[in-house]
Amino acid sequence: MEDERFQTRVELGRHSYMCWDSKRRENVFVRKTMREDDEHYNSLRSILVVKVMNFTPALLRDTNVIPILDFEENSNKDVLCVVYPFFEYNLKSLVAQYGLGPEEIKNIIFQVLRGVQYMHGKSIIHRNLTPTSILFDIAQGDPEYLSAYVGGYRLSRPLGHSGLSPLTNQGNLRFKAPELLLV
């Protein structure tokens, strides 16, 4: 990625940053994936290829899936940078700060299922849906007006991609589908 375009504001985790994007003039989330550090590098590249051929940010925004704003691989093809919108809250932090009532819970479940349905319709399975991969845009700082988005694609797989089994032992054990506990 263009180094002068992104100014790191906060390091959020290993190879994850909140940056100021001078092109978009807003905060964004940037994740760097290194080939030598990450067994999921090729899968992420496959997801991005599918994104380029089929997805548009406007369509993703309307389907409760976090849009990929930009991505770039370096010339050696060993570092992949992916740019996403920055969201202040994930499900874990939202519950900790605000708590949730029954109507808000139903609304969130509906939006998350809509996002998963959209991904499955594009033959992509998430494989690691956790409270930290469900992100929120809160209108006017009021949790009553929130939009939920599915993010955290690092372990996602396109179905039918050669060499990649969708039913491998990946993801967080606490949030794993029961059928994967037997794999």
Q: Is 100 within the bounds of a domain?
A: yes
Q: What is the pLDDT of residues 6-39, one digit of tens each?
A: 899 999 887 889 999 998 899 999 888 776 665 5
Q: What is the pLDDT of residues 24-80, one digit of tens each?
A: 899 999 888 776 665 555 556 555 545 543 555 555 556 788 877 887 777 777 777
CA 112/CA 150 separation, integer angstroms: 6
CA 31/CA 130 separation, integer angstroms: 18
Looking at the DSSP assignment, which residues form a beta bridge with residue 71?
82
Distances (CA, A) of 136 to 60, 86, 110: 14, 10, 14
CA 71/CA 1 separation, integer angstroms: 8
Q: Is 177 within the bounds of a domain?
A: yes
Count of structural domains, the chain: 1
Return the CATH number at 109: 1.10.510.10
Q: Tell me, what's the pLDDT at 3? A: 62
Q: Is 141 within the bounds of a domain?
A: yes
Q: Is 1 within the bounds of a domain?
A: no
Q: What is the pLDDT of residues 139-168, one digit of tens each?
A: 756 667 788 998 877 667 667 655 555 555
Looking at the DSSP assignment, which residues form a beta bridge with residue 101?
none
Least Cα distance to 32 among 47, 46, 13, 49 occurs for 13
CA 81/CA 73 separation, integer angstroms: 6
CA 24 to chain centre: 19
Q: Which domain range does residue 178 map to?
A: 6-182
CB 78 within 8 A of CB 36: yes
Q: Tell me, what's the pLDDT at 124? A: 77
